[in-house]
Structure 1
Amino acid sequence: MRVGVIVQGLFEKSDSIGYDAVLQHKLLRQAHDCTLYAETSNPALHPDVTIKGMDDFHRDFSGLDLVIYHFCDGWAEMDAFVLKRPEKFIVRWHNNTPPWFYVFKQKRFAQRSLQGFEVIADFAAAQVRLLTNSRFTSEQFAVLGGDRNRAEVVYPGSRYLFSPPEKFQNAGDRRGDVINVLFVGRFVAHKGHRNLIHVCDFIARHSPYHVNLHIVGRRDTALDEYNSEIEALSAASAAEVHVYGEVSEAKLYELYDTADVFLFLSEHEGFGLPVFEAMSRNLPLVAWRTSALDDLLESHPLAFKAFDIAHFAAAVLALKKPEVRARTLAIQQGFGALYALDVVKRQLLGAVGTLANDQQGPGALPAATAPQAEATPPAEGANHAFVRNALEEERARLPAVKGANAFLHDFSGHYVSKYDLKVFRTFFDEQQRNDINSMGNLAQGRVNAIDLAPEAFSLHHGEKKPDHLLIPAGAPHRKHIFFGPYADIKQGHYELDLVFAAQEGGSYPRIRVELASRTHGVFAVFTRRLPHTRGMAFHIPADDSDFEIRATSLDPIREDILFQKAVLRRAAPRDAVTVSAEAFTAPGAIHLKGALEFPAKAHAKGTVLLSGASGPLGKGPHILDMVFRNIGYQRPCPVVLQVRAHNPGGGEGPLLQKMEGDITQLRKVPLDVPRPGTRVVMEVAMLGAFEGDMVFEGAQITSNPPATNPKAKGLRKLTRLFRKK
């Protein structure tokens, strides 16, 4: 059977969805002819597999018997493709974070979550087959209207399934007055960082131990309010909180090896991979048995269904006793058989066989080749009773919890229903109808301009001040220095100003400004040298969401950059044809995203710098703008511009315009287009060398009808009238 495995991205280091897709490809390749496809990939991260692109996928599609699509909300084109051909697809769903975790302060994240669940509901209605990562996720699919018989459980892949256990052995019992608590997981709202800090604070205040809480996981700088909340809780805690972000494997192994306990209090998990990774390292676990973990950790004596700060704290303290620790680790050995490579392989091959049989067409497998693997938690025994008794003794020594259980948190087993989807969709649609978004007011003419305050933007390196974003000297360049605001935007013509404070030393870097939205992707790119970042004109052809402004420094940042605000204003509509920089042939140019860069002194006198053709134009007067920027601020570069009508039969067409001048002044060049539908060919050649780097951002050709003289118009009308007489 020919199988395709497709995933949107394979370019991030800590990407559990991407790794799962790669592992499934490897396992399926042992039994089938399997090909891996990705829209975006970094082959260096997966050197042992061949990754094909989307052009290959569409070319190969008709010859594939089955396609496993790893769903992650945000790939609308592939979702629509699946719904048109559901009989050929199996969707791999890793579950989605419910929108209520983000709706208070991160509307964009909540909307993406909602859209993800809505697509799964559409898949359910279309009878699409699913591979889920747990029974909990299968049940969530059923709650959204899916057929339970069309969903099979396959646990997610992990690089640790291939790692020899002895490499990660925890150092064992550590006596003393310190408790090292470890948590590994993304820095997002549902992962329970508040819960971790409250438990560790409670232990530190009501026991003789010094508590270190070590938090490892990638931070999302767009969640700055959540990050600030966690920082404030950490500062006020009696425990010592260490936040590492992403770390190297060596550092992660060191933290696993020196921890006393792995504390996992996440509020929503499709599977809970870090729990099994911790147990595989011989590290005792204390957990909240919520969502998928309710079923997976059912027999673990220190995994609790009810949310109770004192019980979590008592479990951590009980593990300081050597015998409790030893018996807990003995129990956890049984969980190794629950999540292991052979289990995942049997589940995957069995599920693909079962769901392929459901297809009842070419490529279906005999039922005998589709065995199902039942994975269940280990049975309880004497060790469980001993650990639970020790837990109750420790709990009895602790005082009653005062208010620590009252802070905002979810409860175990909370599914997203169709009713929830309707409520959230109504809420977001009502916001849009009422023009809560000020950008809607701008496009509809209620205001002429709006300010986008710095608080609407996020940044990777630096800090938010009350009236500006501070990007410090030495921050990484060639990376986004700020981005946002992820707002809805209406169809129309706009101009954008980015306002920066003056720098004392005048060491201004070049920045690239990318404008993007959910449907259109990156639709405009500008290159400027600070502080000349005003008057960037663009057009949105249709209403869209997630409007984003991304600023990237192209040069080293030698002085602090202070970004004060963005100003967005309405612009007069223009009948224009835009020719992107990528559409031009430019020997020796460096291809940037949406622009071409020409290094200084790279082109000799007389050589053609670039050439390209426009789309069809209307008949009559037009204005041509060739957008070059002398970003080195050196002596101007003289060039000659020739514009000819395209000759469909080959050879040169008639010359429409020829002019010489500074390369940065090829603006408002008049053209007279001889007939409707004419395409024009633009060529720029060197008349001398340029000393500073040049950037070409593209060309725009705008219709320029002559001004009408009312008296002349009336005279022509009278003349026609007399001729008729």
Structure 2
Amino acid sequence: MDQPGCANQATETNLGGPCALGASRIALVIRHLWELSDSISYDCTSQYRILRELGGSDLDIRVFCESNNLDSDFPTEPISALGAWLGDGADSCVIYHYCDGWPAFDAAISNLPARVIVRWHNSTPPWFFAKYSPLPTLNTIRGLEGVIQIAEQSGATFWANSSYSAKQLRVLGIDPGRVHVVYPVSSLLFEGVSRRADQERRDGDDSIRILFVGRIVPHKGHLHLVMTAATLQARFGRRVRLTMVGRSDKSMARYVQEIQTLAAEHDVDVHLPAEVSYSDLKKLYGESDIFLCLSEHEGFGLPIFEAMRSGLPVVGLRSTAIGEFLAHHPLAISSMDYEAAAENVLAAIDPTLRDEVVEWQQNNLTSFYTTGLVAGQVASGLKGNYSLPAPAGVPDRALTNTIARFNSALLDTHPLRPRLQVQRPPVDAIDRYTTRYDIEAFGALAAAVPRKKLAPIKRVKRELDRFVKRVGLIVARQDGAR
């Protein structure tokens, strides 16, 4: 994905050089650097650029990884070189971007001659995956078990990506005094705020263009988005074009089928373009009417801020980490209520209300989440001043009351109908945390599920495909040698 660099906007305040950071040598460690659409990889590379600006030329900062799959020339070194670079570890710090665990490195953390910070990017609760596949269920269990073991076997401290994620670590038994919040970095954070102009419509197209961005996995709430779109069409007679951007998980293909089946049952125009380029993503933010997020579990929710920076009004569910950012948002809902979500969508596209909502977002949330804020959190964490951030935004009673009157008027013109005749998707409890009991129970359940073996014909086809691929590589090398 083609994304911009951080340029010179990584900090909005000068927080001092290496001395003020509490370390003169910092190693960022990540197992795999993938394409920049991977949020963990992007957060790691962005922290590198932020730290370069915070520490200046006197700060020695390196990135160590097992594999670098980026197309850019971003500087990395093999993880095998970390020990020699650390030496005796004097005045050194290791920031480890943790995913689902890296057994070899995890086991070595307690013996590293440096202060270690584990950058924890949140783990999806296993119950969202258990219905579809044991593989992702076991992956998330392994990730949770790994972070617990690191906490118990080392003196590492932890950077969580939100107050919600920090509390999740506390539920797992990690001392809150070892946990600090550092928000993740979005590519759009390094650009100015967009002022969205009204988009021209195609002839006769009065559909509501709803956008959501996030992986096509169960906890992201795609089924709830379809149900909200269906409610808009059934109750209000408004056609909806629902675009849901994100890559799917091959191990949970049945979830994608459920989305498509539900959309077909309700005649909802659904588009699943998978991953898109950075330029195409910006275009989608610019062309949509509203960003709708009914995700049931988020560690932060970057696309919400990206949408707001693009001038889009947001309707969201106050769930998990999203709840701490949308606590005072005038269009946020506190339970999975499709009628309320649909009413707020209509309020969001009302010309007058939309402008007021976008202005509130800019004054309270877009201006709050900045590179300067993230840089300050990084610097504070390096100095050991661990804390949780204050809640963002303040309520606008007048705007909230105006939206309430708008929705009340909708009841007069479009009274509530009997619920759509379809089995409603299950809904998780708001702000539910994963416990050690969950880890043990779901881990045992997933491990007991027999793995599906390939049929003989499929095995033969797989081996033939591998053979053809190897032959092709050999031929290509020989042609290159000539």
Q: State the TM-score bracket (shorter-chain normalisation).
A: 0.7 to 0.9
* Aligned counterpart, 2:379: 349
- Specify which of 66, 81, 87 is matched with residue 93 of structure 2: 66
> Helix, strand or coil for the counterpart of 1:412?
coil
Quote how far apart the aligned CAs of 1:372 are.
8.5
* Aligned counterpart, 2:398: 382
Quote how far apart the aligned CAs of 1:239 are.
2.0
> Helix, strand or coil for the counterpart of 1:223?
helix
Q: How does 1:19-34 map to 2 (within 5 A)?
A: 19-29=42-52, 30-31=54-55, 32-34=59-61
* Aligned counterpart, 2:18: none
Q: How does 1:17-416 map to 2 (within 5 A)?
A: 17-29=40-52, 30-31=54-55, 32-45=59-72, 47=73, 49-64=74-89, 65-85=92-112, 88-126=115-153, 127-166=155-194, 169-172=195-198, 177-333=206-362, 334-354=364-384, 374=390, 376-394=392-410, 397-400=414-417, 402=419, 406-416=424-434
> Helix, strand or coil for the counterpart of 1:238?
coil
Partner Cα distance (2:186, 2:27) in 1: 20
Partner Cα distance (2:404, 2:356) in 1: 11
RMSD across aligned positions (CA): 2.9
**Deviation string for 1:573-601 (max 9, x for gaps)?**
xxxxxxxxxxxxxxxxx8x8xxx997389
Structure richer in strand, relative to its length: 1
* Aligned counterpart, 1:5: 28
Quote how far apart the aligned CAs of 1:123 are.
2.8
Q: Unmatched 5+ residue regions in structure 2?
A: 1-23
Q: Could you state the TM-score of these two structures normalised by the residue count of structure 2?
A: 0.85
Q: Could you state the TM-score of these two structures normalised by the residue count of structure 1?
A: 0.57
**Deviation string for 1:505-534 (max 9, x for gaps)?**
xxxx9632xxxxxxxxxxxxxxx35xxxxx
Partner Cα distance (2:162, 2:380) in 1: 15
Q: Relative to 1, partners in 2 of residues 1:597 and 1:212: Cα closer, same or farther, differing over 3 Å?
A: closer
**Deviation string for 1:13-57 (max 9, x for gaps)?**
411001101111111223232211221113533x4x422121222
Partner Cα distance (1:56, 1:12) in 2: 23
Quote how far apart the aligned CAs of 1:100 are.
0.6
Partner Cα distance (2:80, 2:113) in 1: 20
Partner Cα distance (1:601, 1:76) in 2: 39
Quote how far apart the aligned CAs of 1:320 are.
2.9
Which AA in structure 2 matches 1:165? Answer: V
Which AA in structure 2 matches 1:437? Answer: P
Please say which structure displays the higher CA radius of gyration. 1
> Helix, strand or coil for the counterpart of 2:31?
strand
Q: Relative to 1, partners in 2 of residues 1:314 and 1:373: Cα closer, same or farther, differing over 3 Å?
A: closer
Which AA in structure 2 matches 1:354? Answer: G
Quote how far apart the aligned CAs of 1:117 are.
0.9
Quote how far apart the aligned CAs of 1:124 are.
3.2
Q: Is the 8 A contact 2:210 2:290 kept in 1?
A: yes
Q: Is the 8 A contact 1:216 1:244 kept in 2?
A: yes
Partner Cα distance (1:554, 1:394) in 2: 65
Q: Is the 8 A contact 1:511 1:554 kept in 2?
A: no
Quote how far apart the aligned CAs of 1:87 are.
6.6
- Specify which of 450, 455, 460 is matched with residue 498 of structure 1: 460
Q: Is the 8 A contact 2:295 2:319 kept in 1?
A: yes
Quote how far apart the aligned CAs of 1:311 are.
0.5
Which AA in structure 2 matches 1:117? Answer: L
Percent of residue pairs bearing the same amino acid type: 31
Quote how far apart the aligned CAs of 1:86 are.
9.3
Quote how far apart the aligned CAs of 1:11 are.
2.5
- Specify which of 427, 450, 465 is matched with residue 445 of structure 2: 427
> Helix, strand or coil for the counterpart of 1:5?
strand
Q: Is the 8 A contact 1:171 1:258 kept in 2?
A: no
Q: Relative to 1, partners in 2 of residues 1:422 and 1:438: Cα closer, same or farther, differing over 3 Å?
A: closer
Q: Relative to 1, partners in 2 of residues 1:89 and 1:238: Cα closer, same or farther, differing over 3 Å?
A: same
* Aligned counterpart, 2:16: none
> Helix, strand or coil for the counterpart of 2:342?
helix
The reply to whether residue 599 of structure 1 matches residue 469 of structure 2 is: no
* Aligned counterpart, 2:39: 16
Q: Relative to 1, partners in 2 of residues 1:284 and 1:121: Cα closer, same or farther, differing over 3 Å?
A: same
Quote how far apart the aligned CAs of 1:98 are.
0.7
Partner Cα distance (2:375, 2:423) in 1: 41
* Aligned counterpart, 1:490: none
How many pairs were matched up?
446
Q: Relative to 1, partners in 2 of residues 1:598 and 1:294: Cα closer, same or farther, differing over 3 Å?
A: closer
> Helix, strand or coil for the counterpart of 2:123?
coil
Q: Is the 8 A contact 2:118 2:158 kept in 1?
A: yes
Which AA in structure 2 matches 1:59? Answer: A
Partner Cα distance (2:418, 2:373) in 1: 41
The reply to whether residue 437 of structure 1 matches residue 437 of structure 2 is: no
- Specify which of 452, 455, 458 is matched with residue 453 of structure 1: 455
Quote how far apart the aligned CAs of 1:420 are.
1.1
Partner Cα distance (1:184, 1:34) in 2: 33
Q: Is the 8 A contact 2:208 2:238 kept in 1?
A: yes
Partner Cα distance (2:424, 2:265) in 1: 18
Q: Relative to 1, partners in 2 of residues 1:393 and 1:73: Cα closer, same or farther, differing over 3 Å?
A: same
> Helix, strand or coil for the counterpart of 1:383?
helix
Q: How does 1:447-486 map to 2 (within 5 A)?
A: 452-453=454-455
Quote how far apart the aligned CAs of 1:221 are.
2.5
Q: Is the 8 A contact 1:284 1:325 kept in 2?
A: yes
**Deviation string for 1:234-262 (max 9, x for gaps)?**
22232211111111223222211111110
Q: Is the 8 A contact 2:329 2:395 kept in 1?
A: no
> Helix, strand or coil for the counterpart of 1:215?
strand
Quote how far apart the aligned CAs of 1:9 are.
1.5
- 4+ residue runs over 4 A deviation: 83-87, 173-176, 371-375, 552-555, 600-603
Q: Is the 8 A contact 1:190 1:267 kept in 2?
A: yes
Partner Cα distance (1:97, 1:12) in 2: 21
Partner Cα distance (1:114, 1:44) in 2: 31
Q: Unmatched 5+ residue regions in structure 1?
A: 359-370, 440-450, 455-467, 470-496, 501-508, 513-527, 530-551, 556-589, 604-725
